[in-house]
Amino acid sequence: MEDTQQNSPDDWNITFCVFGTACSNTQLLTALDDRYVFECVKNETEVNKILAETKDGLLKRQLKIYIVDSFDEETFYNLRENDNIYIISSELVLLCAEKKIDIPVPRKNRPLYSQQLESAVICFVGSARRETHAKFSDIVHYLGGSVRKDYSEQVTHVISFANLGEKYLTAFNMERSEILTEDWLVECWKERNNRSLNMLDADFIRKYRAKPLHNLCLFFYGTSDDTEQHHLHTLTLDNGGYTTTEISDATHVIFCNGMDVNTFLTSYPSYKRKHRQHIVTVQWFWECLCLMGKADESIYAIKLPDMNELVASDSPRTTLSTSLNDSNYLHTTSVKRKRRKESDSNNETTLSPNSKRFNNSNENEDGLDEDIQTKVVNVKKDNKYLIAMEIRETERNYVTMLGNIIRIFKTEMENDDRRNGPILTKVESTQIFGNIEEIYHLHLAIGEQMDKAMNEESCIGSVFLNNTIELLRVYQPYTKFYDKTIQAIHFLEKNNSRFYAYLKICEHKSELGKQHLVDLMIRPIQRLPSVLLLLERLLKYTSDAHPDYQQLIETIDKLRDVTKKLNEERGKTERHLSLFSIVNSIENCPPELLAAHRDYLQKFNLTELSQELTGKRTHLTLFLFSDCIEITKLRVNTWKTSFVKSYKHVALIQLSDVHSLFDIPSSNDDYEQFGMLCSIDGQARQLIFRVADNTNMSMSRSHFTESVTSLSTISSLNQTNKSEVLQHLAKAIAEERCLLDKTSLLESVASENRPLQPLSSVDYMPDSDTLSTHSTISATTSSGLNSVGSVLRSGLCRAKSRLSRTFSFSPISSKNRLKKMLTSNSSLLHLGEKENENFNSTKRLSVPSRQDSFTSECNFPRSPSRLMHSIQEH
């Protein structure tokens, strides 16, 4: 049947034949019925007849286009085996009907499923089997794209089976085409029926870009230890490659840590390089990670004796490219050498060696002008002159180093013209380099002023004296956030492989002294103190009568003030950052703990004995601030769940609410106990702690987090004794209350007759000793009871549960206990009452709970010293 849109006798007569399951596709039949005349062919006999007539129809300008539902069914494969066949999919017909456009005519023997890759020109690179290559070529053709054998400017996308070969390097260096993995074509074929998907969209393509080491097999030789080997293995996997322990399986043999060829051949005497196997230095590996693509191996190649010629003979293409590259290289090298010799010969007649270095024809061998040289000849080069020259030389070196940091690191990492974008974002670059450019320009001006001062024979210290205000202004933000800068560098080293690789490349540059970026960024921190030391040496060799003496003293004083202010500002910033870290590590932390006026002072690990806060033998962490104390419960093994914080809030005590501190002696050094009388939320509390042994405590995740690492510069995790804790607490309280004598806050309990046993000894009493202990207490007089005080009461409260089981006491409500205590045994709280009744065991056990112990401020003992003295008498 003929197409209804014939325009001239020369047009082809097009017939649409619907095959197989497509005959039952009602949407397809409706779309064809609107604009075309078609026929459905279901009978196999009719199929064979139509296929036989296809070739004859082409001679009569009669074209038959076959429509199938799927390119995966048997009908499609049977049709494809025939020559001179034109096949399209029902999906293409429906898409054209939806867009109201004509159905495209496919190319002969090239089935067309859709036109989603119509504008794509694809080239395959990397070694792959012929069957694999043909499979992916068919996918491109089915989706309307075209395939090129060689790379050219018309290629829009490169499919890399492995980052190997000259075609890959050409495509990568030209930066005209997207280099993708074969997974992109696989995903495109899966989504072939998704009409809303743009397969050429940048967001869709981005996740299928080939990684730098895509399908490369690397063998690392000469790694220092297993840690380095594991690190290189991880980086290789993250960047699309894989490692091997068999050198014969590797596509690249990489020499690490400067290993030489002789050592390698000694380790592998029977080694024979296989075809297209590259031997390179580890710099090639870092360059690949930095470029986000495979670097040219010829730049980093290591030549083995009597092997390059053998390998080149295996591949004619390699022989041709190598010979061309070698000839170009030799020609370029010879031209460069010739030009260099001519330039050197011309310069030798006019310039001295130093003048060539500084590029200044007016300077002599000492780097000074000729008119100055005549004056310096008659002057003895004493220590003062040498120190001044040292200051100038160190200033020149410092400016050069700052310029290299800006040029090699900052500018290059921010370069937007790099393939795959800049290495660092603007925010990351600012976080690392800060205002280093301001420091550079200031010292550039200082260097010029120093040259002028030396030419005029004026005091070199005046240069720094005139710039003290600017020095403080530019160095203040840098020193303030220096620690954050170092943390940002270490963080990006772990999370940005391009940044890490670029640092590795720069470590081998001589203009940077082969130093790491962290070592270079500390230079501004060290500069002012070093200048101060040099000026002090200069002052030492300057006589009192010299006119520069007073100016040097003034300069040194000003620089000392600048360095002092910088140190104070940095310390203040560190304390604020420490406060942020502490607040973020405490669950349910009071928001008022974070305040600008508050400084973090110390941290102590303690064990509570008084049962006033959490319970018996609870490990607590006490954070001491300039105006308050934050008591937290230390969580154990929180590294198993990263979202759980290391500490849990228990209490916040203002230093103004701490009334007294008590040193409780003990015969055993393992039980260093002290007490604290304070108010918490308006309620009086008598807290007793024991200094915990940090070495035996269960380590929590906080000991390994960055927050506590940053605090380690202020407080150590080493074991702290009781006296240090009391001294720190007393000092902070005295400063908060503006007291001159901090010893007035400390009260010591001295033992008269016998040493005081640890207050926590009741925890170790077996049940069999409970009755004897109870009877002993019952025989105590009322005076003895009154002297025991609240400390013994809290200890008996902990033993209440075991005593209740022994004597079958029924529990009493808190309200009844409080009432009974106030009426029958009020002497427990009022320590000064008369001794008028004997101790009753049942009443003594009716001790209020810690919630009811102190209900108001009036319950607070009037004389804390008498309370602690009663412990001694007991």
Which three-class secondary structure string do you get for 37-68? CEEEECCHHHHHHHHHHHHHHHHCCEEEEEEE
591 vs 845, residue with greater confidence: 591
Please state the rounded mean pLDDT for residues 254-272: 87
pLDDT score for 224 = 85
Give the list of residues 6+ apart from residue 139 with CB closer than 8 angstroms, or none. Answer: 185, 186, 188, 189
The pLDDT-based confidence of 667 (bands split at 50, 70, 90) is low
Please state the rounded mean pLDDT for residues 283-310: 82
Range in 423-432, 439-448, 579-588 the model is least confident about:
579-588
Please state the rounded mean pLDDT for residues 316-325: 35
Quick one: how far is CA 828 from the chain centroid? 58
- Decide: 60 and 82 in contact? Cβ < 8 Å: no
Give the list of residues 6+ apart from residue 770 with CB closer than 8 angstroms, or none. Answer: 799, 802, 803, 806
- The string of pLDDT tens digits covering residues 591-610 is 888 888 888 888 898 888 88
562 vs 306, residue with greater confidence: 562
Longest dimension (CA), the chain: 134
9 vs 695, residue with greater confidence: 695
Please state the rounded mean pLDDT for residues 205-230: 91
766: which 2 tokens?
A: 């077996």
Backbone φ and ψ of 420, nearest 5°? 70, 20
Does pLDDT of 337 surpass 90? no
308 vs 164, residue with greater confidence: 164
Which letter, b or e, does each residue of 694-705 get, where b requires 16 or more Cβ atoms within 10 Å of its Cβ? eeebeebbbbeb
Does pLDDT of 428 surpass 90? yes
pLDDT score for 686 = 86
Q: Which residue has the tokens 């005081």?
A: 756
673: which 2 tokens?
A: 């106990």
pLDDT score for 99 = 85
Put residue 281 in one of left, alpha, beta given phi > 0 → left and psi -120 to 50 → alpha.
beta
Cα–Cα distance, 676 to 681 (Å, whole number): 15
What secondary structure letter does DSSP report for 148?
A: E
- Decide: 500 and 506 in contact? Cβ < 8 Å: no
451 membership: H or E segment, kind and range: helix 436-455
pLDDT score for 336 = 41
- The string of pLDDT tens digits covering residues 744-753 is 788 876 544 4
pLDDT score for 55 = 62
Range in 74-88, 159-173, 396-410 the model is least confident about:
74-88
Q: What amino acid is encoded at 183 in this protein?
A: D
Does pLDDT of 460 surpass 60? yes
Q: Where are the beta strands (DSSP E) in 245-356?
A: 252-255, 278-281
Range in 51-55, 69-73, 407-411, 751-755 the model is least confident about:
751-755
Does pLDDT of 693 surpass 90? no
Does pLDDT of 657 surpass 80? yes
pLDDT score for 352 = 37
Range in 36-40, 271-275, 356-360, 724-728 the model is least confident about:
356-360
Please state the rounded mean pLDDT for residues 478-496: 91
763: which 2 tokens?
A: 């925890």
pLDDT score for 640 = 54
Strand ranges of the sheet holding 746-748, from the earlier edge strand across to the other edge:
586-587, 647-654, 628-634, 618-625, 600-608, 683-691, 673-680, 658-664, 746-748
Range in 37-51, 401-415, 452-466 the model is least confident about:
37-51
126: which 2 tokens?
A: 């990397």
- Decide: 151 and 170 in contact? Cβ < 8 Å: yes
Considering just the CA atoms, what is the radius of gyration of the chain in Å?
Answer: 43
Please state the rounded mean pLDDT for residues 74-79: 79
Which of 281, 286, 253 is closest to 268 using CA atoms? 253
pLDDT score for 103 = 86
- The string of pLDDT tens digits covering residues 555-583 is 999 999 999 999 888 888 777 788 888 88
Beta bridge partners of 67: 18, 88
Please state the rounded mean pLDDT for residues 430-446: 94
146 vs 836, residue with greater confidence: 146
Using CA of residue 329, residue 330, residue 332, residue 336, what is the dihedral sign?
A: positive
* Neighbour count for residue 723 (Cβ, 10 Å): 13
Beta bridge partners of 350: none
Does pLDDT of 782 surpass 50? no
Backbone φ and ψ of 494, nearest 5°? -85, -30
- Greatest mean pLDDT among 180-194, 638-652, 751-765 lies in 180-194
Please state the rounded mean pLDDT for residues 755-759: 41
Which of 574, 633, 622, 625 is closest to 595 using CA atoms? 625
pLDDT score for 236 = 93
Please state the rounded mean pLDDT for residues 337-366: 41
- The string of pLDDT tens digits covering residues 617-653 is 778 899 999 899 999 988 776 555 566 888 999 999 9
Q: What is the DSSP string of 102-117?
A: PPPPPPTT--B---TT
476 membership: H or E segment, kind and range: helix 468-480
Using CA of residue 369, residue 374, residue 375, residue 376, what is the dihedral sign?
A: positive
Give the three-state DSSP class for 362: coil
Does pLDDT of 852 surpass 50? no
pLDDT score for 863 = 45
352-357, long-range: CB within 8 Å, 24+ apart, which pairs?
Answer: none
The pLDDT-based confidence of 491 (bands split at 50, 70, 90) is very high
Cα–Cα distance, 58 to 76 (Å, whole number): 21
Percentage of the chain exceeding pLDDT 70: 69
Cα–Cα distance, 384 to 392 (Å, whole number): 13
- Greatest mean pLDDT among 381-385, 604-608, 614-618 lies in 604-608
The pLDDT-based confidence of 322 (bands split at 50, 70, 90) is very low
pLDDT score for 56 = 62
Please state the rounded mean pLDDT for residues 655-678: 82
Using CA of residue 726, residue 730, residue 731, residue 733, what is the dihedral sign?
A: positive
pLDDT score for 350 = 40
C-alpha distances (whole Å) from 579 to each of 575, 590, 624 are 6, 13, 11
284: which 2 tokens?
A: 């090639």
Mean pLDDT estimate for the chain: 74
Cα–Cα distance, 870 to 874 (Å, whole number): 6
742: which 2 tokens?
A: 């901090």
Give the list of residues 6+ apart from residue 157 with CB closer than 8 angstroms, or none. Answer: 120, 121, 122, 123, 177, 178, 180, 184
pLDDT score for 771 = 32
Domains of the chain: 13-99 (3.40.50.10190), 121-206 (3.40.50.10190), 217-322 (3.40.50.10190), 380-564 (1.20.900.10), 601-733 (2.30.29.30), 765-873 (no CATH)
Give the three-state DSSP class for 870: helix
